[in-house]
């Protein structure tokens, strides 16, 4: 007998993972992938020319069907957080390697979103390398490591 999965009666132990897709360079669309278990820490890395010359560096998050939300901006290595984001988020600037990281501690399912990093000036069409898009997707996996979907069926 097979029936539709009733999420309220699901008794299988679930393991949550965060799956990261990085689009490192808007022009080249270079992609890197990272998976991390829910509850662990993760760093999103944004590399761009002349980060060391930027006065302001930004991180934004765009959850499904929402507009981008400002997470933080950094000036001279000091973070200025949005009041809408918890203290689990922080940034680090490595001017030697032209790298700007967003650290998220204790990753949650709700952290699933598209993440954007930017530098001053940002979000202007004439500054093609000023914005990068990074995608973070959280997956629930069953005991065998396969993703669970609302349409999954289980045998009883």
Residue 67 lies in a domain: yes
For the whole model, what pTM was predicted? 0.64
Kindly report the CATH number assigned to the domain that includes residue 66: 2.60.40.10
Residue 117 lies in a domain: yes
| Alpha carbon distance 20, 46 (integer Å) | 13
Average pLDDT over residues 73-92: 90
Residue span of the structural domain in which 48 resides: 20-138
At 133, the pLDDT band (50, 70, 90 cuts) reads: low
pLDDT the model gives residue 1:
43
Contact between 14 and 109 under an 8 Å Cβ cutoff? The reply is no
Share of the chain above pLDDT 90, in %: 10
At 66, the pLDDT band (50, 70, 90 cuts) reads: confident
Number of independent structural domains in the chain: 1
Residue 12 lies in a domain: no
Residue 144 lies in a domain: no
């Amino acid at each position: 007998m097979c029936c539709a999965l009733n999420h309220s009666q699901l008794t299988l132990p679930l393991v949550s993972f965060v799956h990261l897709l990085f689009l490192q360079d808007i022009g080249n669309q270079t992609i890197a992938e990272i998976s991390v278990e829910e509850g662990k820490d993760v760093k999103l890395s944004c590399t761009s020319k002349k980060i060391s010359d930027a006065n302001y560096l930004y991180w934004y998050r765009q959850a499904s069907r929402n507009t981008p939300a400002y997470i933080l901006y950094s000036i001279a290595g000091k973070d200025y957080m949005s009041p809408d984001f918890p203290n689990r988020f922080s940034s680090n600037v490595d001017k030697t390697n032209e790298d700007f990281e967003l650290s998220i501690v204790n990753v949650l399912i709700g952290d699933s979103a598209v993440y954007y990093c930017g530098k001053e000036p940002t979000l202007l069409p004439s500054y093609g390398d000023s914005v990068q898009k990074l995608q973070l997707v959280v997956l629930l996996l069953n005991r065998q490591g396969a993703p669970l979907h609302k349409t999954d069926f289980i045998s009883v």
